[in-house]
Amino acid sequence: MKVTVLNPEFARKGVWFFEQPEFFEYEGEEVKVKWANPDELALSTGNPEFPFRIIQRKRIVKIDGKTVKPAEAKVVTKVIKGSKGNEYVVTGSNGKWNCTCPGFQFRKSCKHTAEAMI
């Protein structure tokens, strides 16, 4: 597959002395890498020293010449009532949850986020 990736430096090309291309093109096969995140694509390079490169999926603009839509972050916001009647705002985005209750600030998890996930 041929992957066209947005060059993040293009947006700040004024700071570079040399020309920054807007896109990079990489060619290779998708490889399964255990430690790659789901939002990353591992692409083989054909170079035995660096057998693959990791590409952030959100930077990919084209695959095999076909434009890919950037994956929209799904944001969920719910107001959950606590046991003492307080209301907490729970937000979730791409599997990451957040809650405004004191317990969450402390433990990074709470029953409100668990309730909102249902």
Q: Which stretch binds Zn ion (CB under 5 A): 19-27, 32-40, 43-51, 91-99?
A: 91-99
Q: For the CB of residue 113, give the shortest distance to Zn ion in the complex, in Å.
A: 6
Q: Site for Zn ion (CB under 5 A): how many residues?
A: 6
Q: How many helices (H) and strands (E) does the chain have?
A: 2, 9
DSSP 90: E
Q: How far apart are CA 100 and CA 78, in angstroms?
A: 11
Q: For the CB of residue 98, give the shortest distance to Zn ion in the complex, in Å.
A: 9
Determine contact, residues 96/85, Cβ cutoff 8 Å: no
**In this complex, which beta carbon is closest to Zn ion, that of residue 20 or of residue 91?**
91
- Work out whether 110 is an interface residue with Zn ion (CB under 5 A): yes
Q: How many CA atoms are closer than 13 Å to the CA of 87, on its beta-carbon side?
A: 4
Q: Which stretch binds Zn ion (CB under 5 A): 19-27, 29-37, 65-73, 109-117?
A: 109-117
- Work out whether 99 is an interface residue with Zn ion (CB under 5 A): yes
Burial (0-12, 13-18, 19+ Cβ within 10 Å), 83: exposed
- Exactly one of 104, 106, 109, 114 binds Zn ion (CB under 5 A); that residue is 104
